[in-house]
Every structure is written in C-alpha cells, then in structure tokens.
Structure 1
Amino acid sequence: MTGPAPTRRSGRWIERWDPEDEAFWQATGERTARRNLWFSVLSEHIGFSVWTLWSVLVLFMGPEYGLTPADKFLLTSVVTLVGAVVRVPYTFAVAVFGGRNWTIISASLLLIPTVAAFVVMEPGTSYSTFLLVGLLAGIGGGNFASSMTNINAFFPLRKKGWALGLNAGGGNIGVPVIQLVALAIIGASGGPRVLLGIYIPLIVVAAVLAALFMDNLSSVKNDTGAAKDAARDAHTWIMSVLYIGTFGSFIGYSFAFGQVLTNGFGRTPLQAAYLTFIGPLLGSLIRPLGGWLADRYGGARITLWNYVGMAAATAVLIVASMQKSLPLFVSAFVVLFVLSGLGNGSTFKMIPGIFQAKALAKGLEGEAAVAHGRRLSGASMGLIGAVGALGGVGINLAFRQSFLSYGSGTGAFVAFLAYYGVCFAVTWAVYLRRTAARVPATAAAPEAQAQLSYVEV
C-alpha cells in the first residue's frame, strides 16, 4: 500500500506533510525529507565554516598585526557572541519565510562577512575594524538554528535523533574542514585571502542548490507564536543549561584550542594548525552517533554519563596543563571534543521527546500530540541553540581571563569542571530521578507520569 504524495503548490511549497503516517513516510515522505536534509547540511556546513573563520584567521595574524593574545581571545569571543544572538531571529525566520526560502537567504548572507574579511585582512588594519568584521562573521552561527528547526519538521519522532544528529554533525564538521584548509594554505606559505577566496564561490553554490532542491513546509510557516510558547516553558531553559555544557564546549574549544596551544605551549601557528582540527573533526563525526544512542537508550541516560566523561577529561586537562605535558593535554582535549559531540547529539534528541511527553500529559493523543510536540520542539531548538552557543563566549572569556591572571588556561579548566558537575546534577534531578514514590497513587497526575517518561526521551 502506498501513501499519498505531499500536496504541493508553486514555489516548492508542500501543503500536506505527515511523517508519522508510516504509509506516507515509506511512499514519498522519507525521500523528500532526506533530500532536504542533505542540502540543509551543506548550507549549515558553510555557515559553521564562516562562523569559525576567525579562529583560523587569528593564526595568520603574526606580530606585524600588533595584536596581543588577549586581543585575539576577545575577537573570537565577539564572533561567538553574535553567532549565539542571531540564532533567536533565525529560529523565527523559518516560520516567517519557509525553510527553503530562508536557507537561500541565510546562505547568501554569508557572502557579506567573507568578502569583508577578504578586503580588510592585512597588517595595518585597525583592531576596531577587525572587531567589526568579526561581528559580521557571527551571522554564520545562525544557520544552525534555522536548519535544525526546519529539519525537525521533516522527520518522524522515531528518526529525529539520527536526522538532527546528522544535520548538526554535518554543520559542525565545517569547523575542522576550514581548519584543515587553513593548514594546507599555511603549509604552502599562502595568505588568509587565499582561504577566503576558496569559500566565496562555495557560498554561492550552497545558495543555488538550496533554491533548486529544497522545499518549504506550509505547516511550519506563520507559526511565530511557537517560539513564544517555547520560551515560556521551563524545559527550554533547563535544556539550554545542558546544551551550554555540550555545544558551548564544542564551539568554545574550537575557537580557543589553537590559541591555547600557541600561548600555553609555545606552538607556532603551523604546529597548532596540525593539531587543532582533530578534536572538532571527531566531535562532529560522532554527533550522529550520540543521536542514535539516544534514540536507542534514551537521551537523558546518554547525556548523564556523557557529563561524567567530560568531567573526567577536564580533570586530566588540569593535570596536563599544570605539568605542561603537551601529549597528555592534546589527547585529553581530543577526548573532550569527542564527548562534547556525543552530548550534542543526545541532548538535542531529548528536546522532541520532552515536548512529546508533555503533550501526552496534557491528554493529547495521536496526531494532535505529535503536532503539539513538533511545534514546540522545533521552536525551542533555536532558543536552546542560541543559549548553548553563549557557552562558547564564556569559554573564550574564561581563557582570556585565565591567561591574563595566571599565564595559563588551568583556571579556566577548573571552572569548566565545576560546570559539568552542575550539568550532571541537573540531568539527574530533572530527567532521571524517580519521583513515583513521592506521589500518592490517587494523585498519579499526568504531570507525574510525564516526569517518569522523561527517562526515555
């Protein structure tokens, strides 16, 4: 038996979309969803590359640029901050313009910071100019929020962990890719403008392919109120705290790793570039696995034990930093990157499961429950992604202060270790702690049942 095809109108709009209908999904839904996923990944990948551009460009900026280590950490902090802030309007943009339409616009906007960096990237440019151009690069961080909101609407709940993990992982991998390209350029004695010249045509390609092969979902458009409803839900902010610990770590360390190696261990930019791409690469590749494990065993369980691993790796980093052991430091940092990627996948799988559980607790059933959960989870993802990215700002500012105060990153790592402990406690207390024993049998209200069901999200 074959299900009905998606109902379309002009402009690549799909009027009817029901991925939870197995017949619909098998007949046409899965093929359409996967096509949109792949081109969403491409656009988000380029967005991440542009966002993390300055983590690479600062390695090209030698003494002739007149910047101190603190200047460089502040520059990358500003880029990270803007990338976090713009995720909020980017989340609304999918509902206002449609997923395909906004992907075209957001990809095209990446030309602005890339061309601007191409123009100013030379010794003699003022620090304020570099800060301004860095602000522009932050828009690349917004692509993640709109992409995740869009792709969340295309896939059924049972596939969301894998799909969202793949979408985000494909985007995250833009970080090590641009670092690898920079490594090749530095190794060939090329300048930063060569790197920028490579990415300008790639941005155009991503925008054109989105126009040709992606779709808009009418069910997502004109629902800007979903973000307001998501902002009023406590779980949006609880998950934001957890996502600061995973994605905030990933993006913050991606920006800071090279600078920590050059400032803390005396590595040259080329030597640092040989090492910096490894952690982000593995962290990106493993993100879909985090989503898959969460689909199979429950996102809350995977997230809880992932924080245990992140805390342990950070403790090793403190020891390595104090002993100035580069091999131990790099090894532990790579492990921390891998765990941050795994946690990124598991935390984002938790979000649709939480809102689905709340829908059932409200007494909703069937398609009504699915629609309610999909609506709020899609909106909350952008907000959670925005707050989570602020963790990257905190990491860069913490490193800046640690190097100013102590001449090393050890103080920053102590703060990170404490935060991972907080995340472990929050995950356990909110999503895994058994509460049935404290709830009278006659008062086994839907909310109590939903609390128990969070174990499986």
Structure 2
Amino acid sequence: MGRKGGAASGAAARGGRRLTYWDPEDEAFWEREGRFTARRNLVFSVLSEHVGFSVWSMWSVLVLFMSPDIGFTFTPSEKFLLVVVPTLVGAVLRLPYSAAVLRFGGRDWTVFASCVLLVPAGLAAFFVQRPQTPLWVFLIVGALAGLGGGNFASSMTNITAFYPQRHQGWALGINAGGGNLGVAVVQVLGLLVITTAGDTHPSYVAAVYLPLIVLVSLGAALRMDNLPVPPAEPGVLREAAAHRHTWWISLLYVGTFGSFIGYGFAFGLVLQSEFGASTLEAASYTFLGPLLGSLARPVGGRMADRWGGARVTFGNFAAMAAGTGVLLVASATTSFPLFVAAFTVLFVLSGLGNGSTYKMIPAQHAREAEQAIAAGADATAAFARARRLSGALIAVAGAVGALGGVGINLAFRGAYGTSGSGTVAFAAFLGYYVLCLALTWRVYLRRRDDEAAAGVRPVRPRITGRV
C-alpha cells in the first residue's frame, strides 16, 4: 500500500521548472496533485519520443525511394546497411542518454534531445535528393539519425520516476507506445509523399519534421518539469549491470523490442527483396505492422498489470514462435498475402511483449524490496533502491533490446545478400523466440511455482505488482 498523508504540498511549486517535492507513492499527494503533473510530463515526453522514433526510423522509408529511376545504384546489401547504422547508433546512445537525465534533469535533457534532431532531419532532406552522393556520406547522415533512438531511454527513465509502481505498466506502455508510433507515422508519411508527389521526392519526408521538431522542443521547454532530485543516483547503472535480472530481462527485450524495431526498419526492404515489390507496394504495407505494434504496447502493459509480466511474456513468445513458423511457410510458398499477414501479427505480438517485459522490471525490484523488508531491512531505503534500479534496468534493457534490431537487420542483410531469401534469418529468429520462451519459464515462472510450493509468501507493505 502507498503511504497516506503527505509530506509537503505543492508539487507545482517550482524553482524555474524544477519541482520542489515529489513522492508518487504517497497516495494522498498522488491523488491531490501528483497525477496531474505526471500526466502533463507524460504527454510531452510521448511527443518528444515520437518525433525521435520518426527521425530514427526515417531511413527505413528513404531507402525505398533510392531506386535507379532517380539515379541511385545501391545494392540491396548496401540499402540494408543504411538501416543498420542508425539502429546501431540509437542502441549505443541509450545508456548515455539515460545517464544524461540523471545529470541534467528530465525536462532540460528532453529539450536538448529534441532540438538536436534538426541536424539529422535537415541533412537527410538535403542529401537524399542527390543520388551522386557517395554511400559513406549517407552512412554518416544515417548515423546522426540514431540520435532519435537515444530519446527512448532518457524518456523512459524519466517517466518511471514520475509514476507510482502500481501504475508503471500503463504509464511506461503509453510512453513507449506513443514513441513507437513514430515508426508507423514516418512510414505513412512516406506513402503519402509517394501517392501525391511521386517516388522522386524523398526529401519531403524529412522536411516535414523540421517544424515539428521545433514545436515539440518548445512544448517540452514550457510544460515539462525536472524532478527535485535525479530519478536515480550516479553509478546506479553499474549497480544494475551487476544484477543478474538485468541481463535476463534484457535478453527477453531483445526478442520483443529488437523484433519490433528490427522488423520496422527492414520490412519494406524485405518485401522488395523477397517479392520484388515496387516502392509504392512496399510503402503501402510497411506502416500497418508498426502502427498495430505500437498500439499494442500499452495493452501489453495493462495485461501485465493484471496477470503478471512473466505470464504474459511467456504466452507472447509462444505466439511469436508460431507466427515465425507461419512466416517460414509463406516464404517457402511465395505467398505474399500470408507473408504480410504473418509479419503484421509478429508486429502486434512484439508490441504486447514490449509492454509486458517492461512491466517485469519494476515488479521484480519491488519484489526484492519486499523480501529485504521481510528480512529486517528499512522499508524506505529498500523501496528507494528498487526505484533506482528499475530506472537503470530500463536504460540497460532499452539499449540491449535495440541492439536486437541491429542483429535482425544484419541477419536480413546476410540472408538476402547470399541466397536472395530470408529463410535462414527467419529460422534464426524462431530459435531465439524458443530460447526466450524457455528463459521466461525457467527464471520467472518455475521459480514462482517452487516458492509457492515451499510456502514462501512475499509481503507488500508499500508497492503492489507482479513479475
């Protein structure tokens, strides 16, 4: 249960845009004013993360325009490389971006992280209309687009500290789902450009985001807040890295978010490589999966709030393995409708799994805090440590999960570059989903059953939630 009463009132009392008091686990404070402040910060966090995802995944759309019709001569392997680079940079930046929130504050870092996206968007709009530009220049511009991928980690770390643990499945799902929608939106924008202006104007896709980035940056500057203290202490990332559940959950997140972002970046190129789809045909299908997967993410968080993250994640990986099996059949029989349908289902399942896996993070640390209290530890210190580690684990899992997207694109690049078919890549993905299925059962479900049989009953003095 949360604390009743309240220490200090007036969360809205600020020095600049820094809150003077914040304790979302204080139920009276939360109902009186905390939830309104948290919701306002959540809205602008979602907008910033959404634009970041759009810029990050922009090259998944721009490469579809790079055809011989407008002078480009890049091979499919080189095009896959153009989507691998921003994925990799975005993954690597997630840890420093998360640490930056601790140093500069959520509001200040969000403003900077949004403004800096003007650079990759502006450069993309300039160079993508110049087919004589060498590949290495496009790789540098694509690498800069990876700045948008770092926004996810800083945003999630920040929002975790704004919400009580009992609402984090929903809040993190909304925050991440709204950001993930940026993948679908930029792909819809690419389709609109193709259908209205033709497939010779890729710069329009990037140019649309320049004023949007300015507006989002201003909104964050005017309406977001810094917390009175950093959401976690310096050095907590090292503490989280030494925790075994950090790596178990990160491996699971590779299977869910790695699939979502990897498939989102590669789907259009896969359709072109597997079925010879035209630019219009590829763009007509690429947005639907990321759209449904993004909308499914908060649903996965809600399901995990109700039934437990491990149970939902286990069922989700079973379904992802089955869906990948259907994808193998569709590839072997060259069935375009079945292929698109199976891929779309995988997007939805990856979104559900993103929400349920992230819910496991605060619930796992809350459970450990309860066990420490049962052993005689101070409750306030135990739950403060749980919140610190939860924010850090989210940062690590987000970075590792995004590296899964790199792996997926490299697998596609290798498969299509050597055999012209994605069968080998799909078989590898199926094997990984089965591994995640076994890991979830062994570490998070079987252990619970063993403890229940032994009569172990956790106490819940402040925070509720299930792993």
Q: What TM-score do you get using the length of structure 2 for normalisation?
A: 0.93
Q: CA deviation at 1:357?
A: 1.3
Structure 2 counterpart of 1:432: 445
Equivalent pair of 2:93/2:150 in contact (CA under 8 Å):
yes
Inter-CA distance 441–421: structure 2 relative to 1 (3 Å threshold): closer
User: Does the CA contact (< 8 Å) of 1:432 and 1:454 recur in 2?
Assistant: no
Name the SS of the counterpart of 1:6 in structure 2. coil
Following superposition, the deviation at residue 196 of structure 1 comes to: 1.4
Q: Do the aligned partners of 1:356 and 1:372 also contact (CA within 8 Å) in 2?
A: no
* 2:240 is equivalent to residue 230 of structure 1: yes
- Out of 73, 79, 96, the residue aligned to residue 103 of structure 2 is 96
- What fraction of aligned residue pairs are identical, expressed as a percent? 57
Match of 2:332 among 322, 325, 335: 322
| Aligned counterparts of 1:369 and 1:419: Cα–Cα separation in 2 | 35
* Distance change in 2, residues 1:367/1:67 (3 Å): same
| Aligned with 2:356 (options 338, 341, 346) | 346
Residue identity matched to 2:302: W
Letter in 1 for 2:51: I
8 Å contact from structure 1 (residues 313, 336) kept in 2: yes
1:119 paired with 2:126, answer yes
- 2:91 corresponds to which residue? 84
Distance across 2 between alignment mates of 1:250 and 1:214: 28
Distance in 2 between residues matched to 1:142 and 1:333, nearest whole Å: 26
Match of 2:397 among 361, 368, 384: 384
AA matched with 2:57: T
Letter paired with 2:273: N
Q: What is the letter of the counterpart of residue 41 of structure 2? A: N
Aligned equivalent of 1:13, options 6, 13, 18: 18
| Mapping for residues 124-163 of structure 1, pairs under 5 Å | 124-163=132-171
Aligned to 2:276: 266
CA RMSD for the aligned pairs? 2.2
Retained in 2: the 8 A contact 1:2–1:27? no
Amino acid in the other structure paired with 2:319: G
Q: Greater CA deviation, 184-193 or 244-253?
A: 184-193
1:117 CA drift (Å): 1.1
Report the Cα distance in structure 2 between the residues aligned to 1:62 and 1:135, rounded to whole angstroms: 21
Q: Which of 219, 243, 249 is equivalent to 1:209?
A: 219
1:75 alignment partner, one of 71, 82, 88:
82
- Structure 1, residues 56-88: CA drift from partner, whole Å, max 9, x if none? 000111122110000011111111000100001
Indicate conservation of the 8 Å contact 2:289/2:344, yes or no: yes
Q: Output the CA distance in 2 between the equivalents of 1:8 and 1:374.
A: 24
Alignment of 1:303 onto 2:313: yes
1:222 deviates by 7.2
Unaligned regions of 5+ residues in structure 2, if any?
Answer: none
Distance 1:283 1:445, change over 3 A: closer
Change (3 A) 1:141 1:438: closer
Match of 2:64? 59
In the alignment, is the contact (CA less than 8 A) between 1:298 and 1:456 conserved in 2? yes
Aligned equivalents of 2:157, 2:451: Cα separation in 1? 37
Match of 1:192 among 165, 187, 202: 202
Tell me, in whole angstroms, the C-alpha distance in 2 between the residues paired with 1:234 and 1:178: 37
Change beyond 3 A, Cα 1:397–1:12: same
Matched to 2:105, the amino acid is G
| Corresponding residue number in structure 2 for 1:37 | 42
Kept in 2: contact 1:152–1:164 (CA 8 A): yes
Distance between the aligned counterparts of 2:344 and 2:112, measured in 1? 35
Match of 1:293 in 2: 303
Displacement of 1:205: 0.5
Structure 2 CA distance for partners of 1:350 and 1:384, relative to 1, 3 Å: same
Structure 2 residue matching 1:340: 3-state secondary structure? helix
Distance 1:439 1:317 in 2: 39
How many residue pairs match? The answer is 452
Question: What is residue 117 of structure 2 aligned with on the other side?
Answer: 110
Shift >4 Å, 4+ stretches: 435-442
Q: Which segment is superposed worse, 243-252 or 11-20? A: 11-20
The 1:409/1:435 distance shift into structure 2, 3 A limit, reads same
Residue type matched to 2:43 in 1?
W
TM-score, structure 1 normalization: 0.95
Label 1:436 to 1:125 Cα distance change in 2 as closer, same or farther (>3 A).
closer
SS in 2 for 1:45: helix
Task: Report the more deviating stretch, 132-141 or 221-230.
Answer: 221-230
Asked if the contact 1:96/1:222 (under 8 Å) is kept, the reply is no
